[in-house]
Amino acid sequence: MRRVPYARSGQIIGLLGGSFDPAHGGHAHITREAMKRFGLDRVWWLVSPGNPLKAKGPAPLATRLAHARRVMQHPRVTVTDIEAHLGTRYTAQTLAALKQRYRGTRFVWLMGADNLAQFHLWQDWAWIMENVPVGVLARPGDRISARMSPAARLYRSYRISGRASQLLGRSDAPAWCFVNVAMTAESSTAIRAEGKWTPSSDL
């Protein structure tokens, strides 16, 4: 079995990173919307070994991977633990390693509007903006804070309008696009709080 995903030169691949603790229908929904809105050939779910911004560790990686693959079954979506193989911990490190490994492939970093609101807290966040196009999908209650965030204000002149979102994947960084999509209210935090997710659970 291939340990890292395959990509052809020239492909446009969206990257959705996170702990996926657990993955749920909301992740699948924004993935399908991202493929449609940003003109992506494929999307990779980067299931991380752990989130550096969270003090408590997630469920075991193998458990999260297996569950994510049950949640997201789509011929153009790959669920991968490539960060564990690359040995990277932060998003900027992962993106730099992927750009080195997959020369000729065009990557687009995908995030929810809640992440854009605190993007300036990420390690080397400006490097990410300068090197990889970013697609932002609105989540309930996060539109205003995201659009007023330090990252959005600093890079406002590089924003692609939602009406031209299909251009994002073929644009050179810095470039970012904010699109409003109908979102589900599902949340990994809520699922854990309700006791519906344990390392042995099968949602």
User: Residue 147's pLDDT is what?
Assistant: 82
Q: Measured between alpha carbons, how far is 78 from 143 in angstroms, rounded to an integer? A: 28
pLDDT along the chain (203 residues), means of 10: 83 96 91 96 94 71 94 95 93 97 96 91 97 88 79 97 96 96 62 56 44
User: Residue 1's pLDDT is what?
Assistant: 46
User: Residue 182's pLDDT is what?
Assistant: 74
Cβ 99 vs Cβ 13: under 8 Å: no
User: Residue 188's pLDDT is what?
Assistant: 54
Query: What CA–CA distances, in Å, run from 28 to 149, 186, 188?
Result: 26, 11, 13
Q: Crossing angle for the helix pair 25-38 and 61-71, nearest 10 degrees?
A: 60
User: Residue 202's pLDDT is what?
Assistant: 44
The DSSP result for the chain, as a single string, is --SS----TT-EEEEEEE--TT--HHHHHHHHHHHHHHT-SEEEEEE-S--TT-SS--S-HHHHHHHHHHH---TTEEEE-HHHHHT--SHHHHHHHHHHHSTT-EEEEEEEHHHHHTGGGSTTHHHHHHHS-EEEE--TT-HHHHHTSHHHHHTGGGEEPGGGGGGGGGSPSS-EEEE--------HHHHHHTT---TT---
Q: What are phi and psi of 106, to 5 degrees?
A: -100, 120
Cβ 108 vs Cβ 169: under 8 Å: yes
